[in-house]
């Protein structure tokens, strides 16, 4: 059960309307790294979680993400206040209204026209929010790592948004939201490492002969770069991997019935290429290079 508190989690102070900035902030409202995606990701994980501690953690953070969604939405609405009133009441001449709406250099005019200046569930480019942003797979050791990465990406987006505004009130609010992404990362890290072992993800171990092998797949004149990702410890570095690394011939085979073999051979004969022919094609005709008979 959810109960809405009429006060925001963080006090927001917007100095002046700015539809262009409002449009950029939609990235964290309805974008892939935004607050709605985070809330839905953690909420659905919490519903399916059996561990009481992780369930509580995921519900708490999912609920906080909804409060962050409210903060971002409120900022967007306030930044659009001027455009909303002007568009609704037509207080300016048509040319001036058009100029004020399109002067931001982005799609803020689209946001104003389609959504009346309110926060829309789209990203900053106008792409509608999608449940495809939710990448939960139902395995805690995989999902928690995905959550950590999601919080890291959101933190970077907030950094970039802070850098494109000089409004101190908005900078402070975005700084708070950015910092909460750090706190959530720490919580998810602790939850992940409270599961031991947590690597590799899932139940099945890897095939030992391939688990610690690094294949040098970038061939060229420069020598392969080495580092802790491919040397030291139990790493085995294969300089020139050739198919097939399992010792086979690298050819794909399938067992089929005698009846299927006859059908496949007939199809192969029917669709065989004549390597000795050089037919005139549409490309020849179109280029004017076809020889008249």
Annotated binding site for Ca(2+): 56, 60, 216, 218, 220
Known binding-site residue numbers for Mn(2+): 35, 65, 68, 151, 184
Detail the DSSP E strand segments found in the chain: 213-215, 236-238
Are the beta carbons of 120 and 111 closer than 8 angstroms?
Answer: yes
CB atoms within 10 A of CB 243: 9
* CA–CA distance, 124 with 109 (Å, rounded to integer): 12
Known binding-site residue numbers: 35, 56, 60, 65, 68, 151, 184, 216, 218, 220
Greatest CA separation for the chain: 85
- Residues with Cβ < 8 Å from 281, sequence gap 6 or more? none
Are the beta carbons of 158 and 125 closer than 8 angstroms?
Answer: no
- Tokens 């409210």 belong to which residue? 70
């Amino acid at each position: 059960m959810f109960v809405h508190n009429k006060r925001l989690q963080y006090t927001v102070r917007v100095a002046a309307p700015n539809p262009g900035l409002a449009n950029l902030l939609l990235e964290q409202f309805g974008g892939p790294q935004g607050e709605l995606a985070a809330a839905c990701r953690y909420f659905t994980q919490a519903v399916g979680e059996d561990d009481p501690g992780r369930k509580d953690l995921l519900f708490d953070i999912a609920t906080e993400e909804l409060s962050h969604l409210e903060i971002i939405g409120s900022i967007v609405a306030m930044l659009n206040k001027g455009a909303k009133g002007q568009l609704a009441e037509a207080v300016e001449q048509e040319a001036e209204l058009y100029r004020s709406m399109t002067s931001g250099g982005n799609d803020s005019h689209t946001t104003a026209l389609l959504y009346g200046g309110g926060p829309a569930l789209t990203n900053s480019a106008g792409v509608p929010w999608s449940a495809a942003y939710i990448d939960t797979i139902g395995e805690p050791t995989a999902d928690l790592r995905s959550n950590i990465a999601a919080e890291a990406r959101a933190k970077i987006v907030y950094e970039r948004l802070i850098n494109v505004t000089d409004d101190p009130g908005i900078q402070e609010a975005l700084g708070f939201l950015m910092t909460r992404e750090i706190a959530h990362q720490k919580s998810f890290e602790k939850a992940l490492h409270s599961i031991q072992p947590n690597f590799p993800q899932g139940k099945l171990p890897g095939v030992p002969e391939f688990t610690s092998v690094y294949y040098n797949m970038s061939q060229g004149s420069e020598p392969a770069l080495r580092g802790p990702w491919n040397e030291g410890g139990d790493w085995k570095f294969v300089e020139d991997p050739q198919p097939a690394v399992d010792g086979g011939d690298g050819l794909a085979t399938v067992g089929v019935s005698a009846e299927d073999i006859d059908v496949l051979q007939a199809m192969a004969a029917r669709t065989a290429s004549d390597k000795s022919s050089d037919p005139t094609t549409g490309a020849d005709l179109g280029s004017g290079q076809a020889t008249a008979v």
